[in-house]
Amino acid sequence: MRRSILLASALATTLALAACGSGEPAAESSADADASAKPSASGTLTVWVDETREAAVKASAEAYEEESGVDVEIVQKNFEDIRADFLAQVPTGEGPDITVGAHDWLGEFTANGVVQPIELGDKADDFIPVSVQAFTQDGQVYGLPYAIENIALIRNTELAPEAPKSYDDMIAAGKKAGTKFPFLIQSDGDKGDPYTYYPFQTSFGAPVFEQNDDGSYRPELALGGKNGEAFATWLSEQGKAGNLSTDISYDIAVEAFAKGKSPFIVGGPWMLDQFKDLKLSVDPIPAPGDQAAQPFVGVQGFYVSAQSKNALVANDFLVNYMSTPEAQTALFEAGGRPPALVEAADAASSDPLVAGFREVGATAVPMPSIPEMGSVWSFWGVTEASIISGKASDPVKAWNKMVSDIQGALD
Q: Which residues pair with 73 in a beta bridge?
A: 46
* Burial classification of residue 378, based on how many CB atoms lie within 10 Å of its CB (0-12 exposed, 13-18 middle, 19 or more buried): middle
Q: Does 178 score more than 60 pLDDT? A: yes
CA distances for 223 relative to 202, 205, 208, 273, 295, angstroms = 9, 8, 5, 35, 15
Question: pLDDT-derived band of residue 362, with 50, 70 and 90 as boundaries?
Answer: confident
Q: Using an 8 Å Cβ cutoff, are 179 and 261 in contact?
A: yes
Question: pLDDT-derived band of residue 35, with 50, 70 and 90 as boundaries?
Answer: very low
Q: What is the pLDDT of residue 338?
A: 92
Q: What is the pLDDT of residue 65?
A: 96
Question: pLDDT-derived band of residue 214, with 50, 70 and 90 as boundaries?
Answer: confident
Q: What is the pLDDT of residue 32?
A: 41
Q: Does 114 score more than 50 pLDDT? A: yes
> Cα separation of 47 and 77, whole Å?
10
Q: Using an 8 Å Cβ cutoff, are 101 and 302 in contact?
A: yes
Q: Could you report the per-residue pLDDT of 82-92, keeping only the tens digit for each?
A: 999 999 999 99
Among candidate residues 103, 337, 296, 290, the one with its CA nearest the CA of residue 197: 296
CA-angle at 246, arms to 226 and 375, nearest 5° = 55
Q: Does 173 score more than 80 pLDDT? A: yes
Q: Does 18 score more than 80 pLDDT? A: no
More confident residue, 199 or 38: 199
Backbone angles phi, psi at 268, to 5 degrees: -115, 180
CA-angle at 372, arms to 366 and 378, nearest 5° = 90
Question: pLDDT-derived band of residue 14, with 50, 70 and 90 as boundaries?
Answer: very low
Q: Does 251 score more than 70 pLDDT? A: yes
Q: Is 266 helix (H, G, I), strand (E, B) or coil?
A: strand
Q: Could you report the per-residue pLDDT of 256-284, keeping only the tens digit for each?
A: 999 999 999 999 999 999 999 999 999 99
Q: Does 356 score more than 80 pLDDT? A: yes
Model confidence, pTM: 0.83
- All domains of the chain, ordered by start, with CATH? 5-33+40-149+298-366 (3.40.190.10), 150-296+369-410 (3.40.190.10)
> Cα separation of 10 and 316, whole Å?
11
Count other C-beta atoms under 10 Å from residue 271's C-beta.
19
Q: Using an 8 Å Cβ cutoff, are 282 and 154 in contact?
A: yes
Q: What is the pLDDT of residue 154?
A: 98
Q: Does 1 score more than 60 pLDDT? A: no
Among candidate residues 182, 216, 187, 222, the one with its CA nearest the CA of residue 204: 222
Q: Could you report the per-residue pLDDT of 380-407, keeping only the tens digit for each?
A: 999 999 999 999 999 999 999 999 999 9
Q: Could you report the per-residue pLDDT of 128-148, keeping only the tens digit for each?
A: 999 998 999 888 999 999 999
> Cα separation of 316 and 322, whole Å?
9
> Cα separation of 355 and 362, whole Å?
10
Q: Using an 8 Å Cβ cutoff, are 356 and 295 in contact?
A: no
Q: Does 355 score more than 90 pLDDT? A: yes
Low-confidence winner among 37-51, 103-117, 200-214, 345-359 (lowest mean pLDDT): 37-51
The rounded percent of the chain whose pLDDT value lies above 70 is 90
> Cα separation of 291 and 199, whole Å?
10
Q: Is 39 helix (H, G, I), strand (E, B) or coil?
A: coil
**Per-residue b/e over 35-58, b at no fewer than 16 CB within 10 Å?**
ebbbbeeeeebbbbbbeebbebbb
> Cα separation of 115 and 311, whole Å?
11
Question: pLDDT-derived band of residue 17, with 50, 70 and 90 as boundaries?
Answer: very low
**HSE (CB half, 13 Å, CA atoms) of 210?**
7
Average pLDDT of span 105-117: 96
Strands 44-49 and 280-283, sheet pairing: unpaired
For the chain, helix (H) and strand (E) counts, in that order, are 16, 14
Average pLDDT of span 305-321: 96
Q: What is the pLDDT of residue 42?
A: 61
Cα 89 → chain centroid: 24
